[in-house]
Amino acid sequence: MNISSESDSEIDKLYEAWADAFHRQDLRAILDLLTSDYVLWPAGAQPMTRDSVESRLVATLSAYEVTPSFEREERLVTGDLAFERGWDIQQIRPRAGGEMKTHQQRVFLILRRGSDGKWRFARGMSQTGPTV
């Protein structure tokens, strides 16, 4: 598998767009960064489709300020598919007030480049990590 700097740059833009969409609380922009057949396997819970993620995001964004980041440990790219392994880190503050908490989870992600040339999240699997 090859890792190309062009793909790296394009994939990095996906993460930047993800963080920006959360900062703006733009649900539509967040969902546009997921493939139409997106599936997430969260730790200890049932798999979630793009539709079920949408309803969860509506509730989350109304109750919390969320600042996501990703600490990559590995990236493999082949053609229009990329695999990433690392830590999904979310800083979460209740909108009603309270202190910021940081949640970490180990994640395995599959990204897919669409016919429009844009990378999107296609699959995700998480394992709960420590609360900091």
Q: Whose CA is closest to 79, among 113, 120, 35, 116?
A: 113
Number of domains in the chain: 1
Displacement of CA 94 from its chain's centroid (Å)? 20
**Residue-by-residue pLDDT tens, the chain, 132 positions:** 444 567 889 999 999 999 999 999 999 999 999 999 999 999 889 999 999 999 999 999 999 999 999 999 999 999 999 999 999 999 999 999 999 999 999 999 999 999 999 999 999 999 987 665
**Domain that residue 90 falls in:** 5-131
Which positions ≥6 away from 43 have C-beta within 8 Å? 105, 126, 127, 128
- In sequence order, what E strands does 1-131 have? 34-41, 48-49, 64-78, 81-94, 101-113, 119-131
* Predicted TM-score of the model (pTM): 0.90
Do the beta carbons of residue 131 and residue 102 sit within 8 Å?
yes
CATH for 57: 3.10.450.50
